[in-house]
Structure 1
Amino acid sequence: MEEELLATFNSHFEQPLIDEILEVGTLKEVPAGETIMDIGQYIRSIPLLLSGAIKVLREDDEGDELLLYYLEQGETCSVTMACCMGQTKSEIRAITETETKMIMVPVQKMEEWMGKYKGWRNYVFESYHNRLNELLQTVDSIAFKNLDQRLVDYLQKKVEVTNDNRIRNTHQEIAYDLHTSRVVVSRLLKKLEKMKKLVLHRSYIEIVDL
């Protein structure tokens, strides 16, 4: 675990902080498709991603979901941190997009390290900044882009975070992430196939040229 932690976070954290993370952190390996945090839960620990990807979703009053952003190697979830600081329940759902390895750090360490380590403070502030920018991009996408472009952006990001041009989500799962209907997603995917941007197979979508 130490080698992976150093490889991922050495540029962010001081060696004494690395040592503390190794002392109090718990290594967790999670397969793809697992919910690691759900809406309404109290948060007991903060994830630091060593590898893999996690998608973070919001749910409306009707239970429909909207994909907010992805967490990737070297990142953590600032929404989780905000809930920890306020000791409130989670307002997001986090699901592993790929097989993911992370270190879970007890929440009580967060405030302690903010005053103790400059590297941790900078990391937290950078995380807030990055997540805010991604949330603004999501809002802009919904407000200013048509669904065709949002779907293309979504598929491109999927390929990027999974490092695989085969997307194995169903049309219904994509519709959930984009907060639209399966019928609309299927129609747009067929349109992209006719444009030779992708190929629709029985159990996956093969991205060709988006």
Structure 2
Amino acid sequence: MKEELLATFSNHFEQPLIDEILEAGKLVEVPAGETIMDIGQYIRSIPLLLSGAIKVLREDDEGDELLLYYLEQGETCSVTMACCMGQTKSEIRAITETETEMIMVPVQKMEEWMAKYKGWRNYVFESYHNRLNELLQTVDSIAFKNLDQRLVDYLQKKVEVTNDNRIRNTHQEIAYDLHTSRVVVSRLLKKLEKMKKLVLHRSYIQIVDL
């Protein structure tokens, strides 16, 4: 675990901080498709991603979901941090997009390290900044882009975070992430296929040129 932690976070953290993370943190390996944090849960620890990707979702009053952003290697979730610091329930759902390896850090250590390590403070502030920008991009996408472009952006991001041009989500799962209907998603995917941007297979979508 030490080698992975050093490779991922050595540019962010001081050596004494890395030593403390190794002592206090718990290494967790999670397969793809697992919910690691759910709406309404109290959060006692935060994830530091060593590998893999996690998608973060918001749910409306009717139970429909909207994809907010992805977490990737070297990142953490600032929403989780805020819940930890405020001792409030989670307002997001986090699901592993791919097989994911992470270190879970107890919340009390996070507070201690804020006062103790400049590297940790910078990392936390950078995380808040990055997540805010991603949330603004999500808002802009909903407000200013048509669903055709949102779908293309979504597929491109999927390829990026999974490093695979075969997307194995069902049309219904994509519809959930984009907060729309399966029928609309299927129609737009057919349109992209006619444009030779992708190929629809029975169990996956082959991205060709988006």
TM-score class, shorter-chain normalisation, is over 0.9
Q: Which runs of 5+ in 1 are unaligned?
A: none
CA distance in 2, matches of 1:160, 1:143: 24
TM-score normalised by L of structure 2: 1.00
- What displacement does 1:153 show? 0.0
Over the residues paired in the alignment, what is the CA RMSD in angstroms? Answer: 0.2
Identity of aligned residues (%): 96
- What displacement does 1:73 show? 0.1
Deviations 1:24-73 (A, max 9, x none): 00000000000000000000111000000000000000000000000000
Q: Which runs of 5+ in 2 are unaligned?
A: none
- What displacement does 1:106 show? 0.3
CA distance in 1, matches of 2:41, 2:108: 17
3-state SS in 1 of match to 2:196: coil
Deviations 1:110-161 (A, max 9, x none): 1110000000000000000000000000000000000000000000000000
Equivalent residues in 2 for 1:169-208, closer than 5 Å: 169-208=169-208
- What displacement does 1:77 show? 0.1
TM-score normalised by L of structure 1: 1.00
- What displacement does 1:82 show? 0.4
CA distance in 1, matches of 2:198, 2:153: 13
CA distance in 1, matches of 2:99, 2:84: 25
- What displacement does 1:202 show? 0.2
Which segments of structure 1 move beyond 3 Å, counting only runs of 4 or more?
A: none
3-state SS in 2 of match to 1:89: coil
- What displacement does 1:83 show? 0.3
CA distance in 2, matches of 1:181, 1:25: 41
CA distance in 1, matches of 2:111, 2:99: 29
Q: Which residue of 2 aligns with 1:155?
A: 155
Q: Which residue of 2 aligns with 1:126?
A: 126
Deviations 1:60-100 (A, max 9, x none): 00000000000000000000000011100000000000000
